Chains A and B, each alone.
Chain A
Amino acid sequence: MSNNRVSRRQFLNYTLTGVGGFMAAGMLMPMVRFAIDPVLQKAGGGDFIPTGKKVSDITEVPERVDFAFEQVDAWYTSEVTSTAWVYKNGDKIIALSPVCKHLGCTVNWAGSPDHPDQFFCPCHGGRYEKSGKNIPKTPPLGPLDEFEVREKDGLLEIGKTRPNTLV
């Protein structure tokens, strides 16, 4: 036999290195991406979106306030306007997310005539108190999220959502 014949050991070595290399790459790539991604992304987080709502007009009764940003849905791209339920709690402005914590429908303040002082989800009858606290025995398992808010030149600006801090 010729002496450049690949021995069994060599063969295994080659193949295993090859496979191992792929596996390592498979594992490393996402890790590298995770590590680098935050650097590449713009700091979108702390952005506040202006609304046309005068802070002095906000009352104790939750009211819809819209604010716009761009969103791409499955096959329909649009400049989606998002909504918050905004009210004053003493001097503090509260802005709650209208997204139901069950499966994501949009909740309405006083949406059910039987519960005029609660948020109501039309999809499966989920309900929340004014603070966003979910009412037990309705489908949602957690309270409504809260938006960060700030005031600029007398107008309300809305930021990121965060877990409810009132409940």
Chain B
Amino acid sequence: MKMGREGDVVVTHALGSCLGLMIYDPSIKVGGMLHAMLPMAKINPQKAEANPYMFVDTGVVRLFKEIYRLGGKKSRLVVKAAGCASPIGKDEMFKIGKRNYTVLKKLLWKNNVLLDAEAVGGTVSRTVHFHISTGQILIKSGQHQEFSL
């Protein structure tokens, strides 16, 4: 997880099936990004203790806590998601990206938070540039044109 203030650009590379969650408070220009690999911390409690940001369920909660600590207000937050890709085929075992997304949606739903935008799924591996001064989020993957989320 990385937090940023005005002037910062928060970057994460090659999300793959990982979830990238970006939250932003435009009135105080503070934002943060989570890069979580797996849906649930219970798969490896030891790792979760050392690095809760590796998991969607524990990481998302911390991301929100952190932005509140920096002065963010829930009513003002802009929340966007990226990543959660999967390889080709129907094998559910490899749909970790889909499971990451499902856990995110459940968590947000429980807490009455809506996603303002998302670039999720497919087979592309996304790189995210999050400009904290403007709140702009740029997404690039493979040979595709970069776009603003």
Please indicate whether A and B come from the same complex rather than being unrelated chains. Answer: no
Give the A-binding residues of B (Cβ under 8 A): none
Give the B-binding residues of A (Cβ under 8 A): none
